[in-house]
Amino acid sequence: MKARSQKRTAVMAGLLAAVCIAALISASPVGAADPPIGLGTANSYAVLAGSTVTNTGPSVINGDLGLSPGSAVTGFPPGLVNDFQHIEDVEALQAKIDLVTAYDDAAGRTPATSVATELGGTTLLPGVYTGATLGITGTLTLDAGGDAAAVFIIKTDSTLITATDSAVNLINGANPCNVFWQVSSSATLGTRTAFQGTILAFTSISADMGATVEGRLLARNGAVTLDNNVINRPECA
């Protein structure tokens, strides 16, 4: 009888422990993902600049084009903007305010994993990454691991420069809506680069001949310079 009572007590204790463990697991975040950078009204822009927007050749912009506080937009035509142009108006001013907020959010994201200057030939999983200066020669792969909501935030203390014919390749559900590049200086996309994600540059952004972007070129203070490019703003929730 005594042995049966002890057995019953042990079983009850085991069940109680299991319930407590389950409660702790359900109350604790497991591998909480990084939230995306909120762009506010800048979300509708494929190109947004501070000083000038200059285009050469038949570039195509699928998304809004904006400029504030500058007023010089040249090269359209032959360039084509398939949505709205906001040049030094209320909409452009608000988009620039929202860009500053987004830039500061991206710059402040921590913890960040340090990466080497050369990203070409490497694969990154979702997360926040940082480097003194960043470049891509060849292909950088961003692997979402099957999570369509996975977020990539890649930050540089200086410049971002891609070589000719370089690419950013998204696999396993990675979405250009959730890829953000925070550039503390200026970004240059080399000839025929196939780029993915939103660039948030403190100064300027240049896209060389034939470079394509599935994302946005958002320059906080300087110019956006285009040369026979296609910029597709992705449809993001």
The predicted pLDDT at position 165 comes to 98
The distance of Cα 164 from the centroid of its chain, to the nearest Å, equals 21
What distance separates the 2 farthest-apart alpha carbons in the chain? 94
Instruction: Compare 39 and 33 and report the one with higher pLDDT.
Output: 39
What per-residue string of b and e applies to 88-111 under the rule 16 or more CB within 10 Å gives b?
eeebbebbbebbbebbebbbebee
- Give the whole-number percent of the chain exceeding pLDDT 70: 86
What's the pLDDT tens digit per position in 183-224?
A: 999 999 999 999 999 999 999 999 999 999 999 999 999 999
Average pLDDT, the chain: 89
Using CA atoms, how far apart are residues 221 and 204, in angstroms rounded to an integer? Answer: 7
Closest C-alpha among 110, 169, 116, 109 to residue 143: 169
Checking if the pLDDT of 115 tops 80, the result is yes
HEC string of 48-106 equals EECCEEEEECCCEEECEEEECCCCEEECCCCCEECCCEEECCHHHHHHHHHHHHHHHHH
The predicted pLDDT at position 236 comes to 84
Task: pLDDT band for 33, please (50, 70, 90 cuts).
Answer: confident
Using CA atoms, how far apart are residues 212 and 193, in angstroms rounded to an integer? Answer: 6
Using CA atoms, how far apart are residues 184 and 159, in angstroms rounded to an integer? Answer: 7
The predicted pLDDT at position 32 comes to 52
Task: pLDDT band for 12, please (50, 70, 90 cuts).
Answer: very low
Checking if the pLDDT of 4 tops 60, the result is no
Q: Are 155 and 126 in contact (CB under 8 A)?
A: no
The predicted pLDDT at position 29 comes to 31
Using CA atoms, how far apart are residues 201 and 212, in angstroms rounded to an integer? Answer: 17
Q: How many CB atoms lie within 10 A of CB 76?
A: 16
Checking if the pLDDT of 19 tops 80, the result is no
